[in-house]
Amino acid sequence: MTETLPQPASTTTPVPTVETVLGPVAADALGTTLAHEHVFVRTPDSQTNWVRDWDDEAQVAGAVERLRELRATGVTTIVDPTVDGLGRDLVRLRLVAEQVPDLNIVVATGVYTYTDVPHYFTYRAAALPDGPDPMVDLFVRDIREGIQDTDTKAAFLKCAIDEHGPTPGVERVLRAVARAHLTTGAPIMVHTHPGTRSGAYVHRVLTEEGVDPTRVQLAHSGDSTDTDHLAELADTGYLLGMDRFGLDVILPFAERVAVVAELCRRGYAASMTLSQDAACHFDWADPDLLAALPNWHYLHVLRDVVPALRELGVEERDMTTMLVDNPRRWLTTPSLHHRTGHDGRR
Ligand SMILES: [Zn+2]
């Protein structure tokens, strides 16, 4: 065995990277990031049965156009939490990403349900309370090896709880996500329903599983005007997704902006991300219903939200914190580069 001299730390610390559709990129290169956007949200089973006019080529071309338009505004990264239950298909998404190579698209693994697990999982080890859930291995494989036999690796884990509350299916997925996180270090995004304070339930389960709240983003926190509740979650360490700008039917624009401005005023800029939860294609509603949401698109945050926050006194430094630093910190897996990445500023 040859003797090796001690190396300076700087040469042994790998540059932190984040996985995207087209491969790993340096975390420092993520730049302006929308932390919660979709490209295609589909219901493949229903589309196979009922949709007669799906044109894959046109859908891909349309998505490329929308994403190029977004990239032209200065956004360099989107985080896409489309998983099982939302019609994730990396084969189609790669066709889009290859045509917009200067926009990073960060993708997830996980299961999206408000109630039961997808039937595929119903009898797969579900009856064993402490047995290994096959979901965990599938999530880990997506993170370590790639999704759908592509080279694209998932960078984070996604699950959901909504107004239906903590059903057994919701809890099963949340625990599977927690265990895949502990195995891989990949961060977690939980779709939450702040109106029913589901964050408290998420915190209880994730604490039981041993998950550090600073690795978890609570999506849709921005649907609430309860700033004390949100501040409490932020104090616990959670990152708050103020991520549905444009979904004015759930909470109007002025109120969404006011909540973010108030939390910035109270020193919580380091605990928030800004996004829209928009998509190029979203098959849950008829086009005329979507037409009633004219601001629900990729460009709303930079075009309308940031100027409105500025009007309310939010400083440029805080905009950068919410749009650049926080998504990067959350996405950068500490175990891969031996640092916390949490600057603690709030
Ligand atoms: Zn979403």
pLDDT digits (tens, 9 = 90+) for 233-259: 999 999 999 999 999 999 999 999 999
- 220 CA from centroid of ligand 1 (Å): 8
> Is 42 a domain residue?
yes
> Is 19 a domain residue?
no
> In this predicted model, what pLDDT tens digit does every residue of 256-275 receive, in sequence order?
999 999 999 999 999 999 99
> Is 339 a domain residue?
no
Pairing of strands 40-41, 33-34: unpaired
Give the count of domains, the chain.
Answer: 1
Q: Write the secondary structure of the chain as one string of H (helix), E (strand) and C (coil).
A: CCCCCCCCHHHHCCCCEEEECCEEEEHHHCCCEECCCCCEECCHHHHHHHCCCCCHHHHHHHHHHHHHHHHHCCCCEEEECCCECCCCCHHHHHHHHCCCCCCEEEEEEEECCCCCCCHHHHCCCCCCCCCCCHHHHHHHHHHHCCCCCCCCCCCEEEEECCCCCCCHHHHHHHHHHHHHHHHHCCCEEEECCHHHCHHHHHHHHHHHHCCCHHHEEEECHHHCCCHHHHHHHHHHCCEEEECCCCCCCCCCHHHHHHHHHHHHHCCCHHHEEECCCCCCEECCCCHHHHCCCCCCCCCHHHHHHHHHHHHCCCCHHHHHHHHHHHHHHHHCCHHHHCCCCCCCCC
- 80 CA from centroid of ligand 1 (Å): 8
Contact yes or no for 234/212 (Cβ under 8 A): no
pLDDT of residue 340 exceeding 80, the answer is: no
- 279 CA from centroid of ligand 1 (Å): 9
Structure tokens at 11: 């040469």
d(CA 167, CA 181): 21
- 267 CA from centroid of ligand 1 (Å): 26
CATH of the domain at 131: 3.20.20.140
Termini Cα distance of the chain: 49
Average pLDDT over residues 309-332: 98
- 276 CA from centroid of ligand 1 (Å): 8
**For residue 217, what are the domain limits?**
25-331
> Is 129 a domain residue?
yes
- 336 CA from centroid of ligand 1 (Å): 27
Contact yes or no for 253/276 (Cβ under 8 A): no
Dihedral (C-alpha) 68, 71, 73, 79: value to the nearest 10 degrees?
120
- 72 CA from centroid of ligand 1 (Å): 23
Contact yes or no for 234/268 (Cβ under 8 A): yes
- 38 CA from centroid of ligand 1 (Å): 6
> In this predicted model, what pLDDT tens digit does every residue of 278-290 receive, in sequence order?
999 999 998 899 9
> In this predicted model, what pLDDT tens digit does every residue of 104-137 receive, in sequence order?
999 999 999 999 999 999 888 755 666 689 999 9
- 159 CA from centroid of ligand 1 (Å): 10
In percent, the amount of the chain with pLDDT more than 90 equals: 87
pLDDT at 2: 46
- 191 CA from centroid of ligand 1 (Å): 7
> Is 344 a domain residue?
no
Structure tokens at 331: 């996405």
Q: Residue for token digits 């175990």?
A: 335
pLDDT of residue 9 exceeding 60, the answer is: no
Q: Please list the residues that pair with 242 across neighbouring strands.
A: 274
> Is 320 a domain residue?
yes
> Is 264 a domain residue?
yes
pLDDT at 125: 72
> Is 276 a domain residue?
yes
Q: What is the pTM of this model?
A: 0.92
- 299 CA from centroid of ligand 1 (Å): 16
> In this predicted model, what pLDDT tens digit does every residue of 20-79 receive, in sequence order?
999 999 999 999 999 999 999 999 999 999 999 999 999 999 999 999 999 999 999 999
Torsion sign (Cα): 110, 211, 126, 192 = negative
pLDDT of residue 337 exceeding 50, the answer is: no
d(CA 65, CA 59): 10
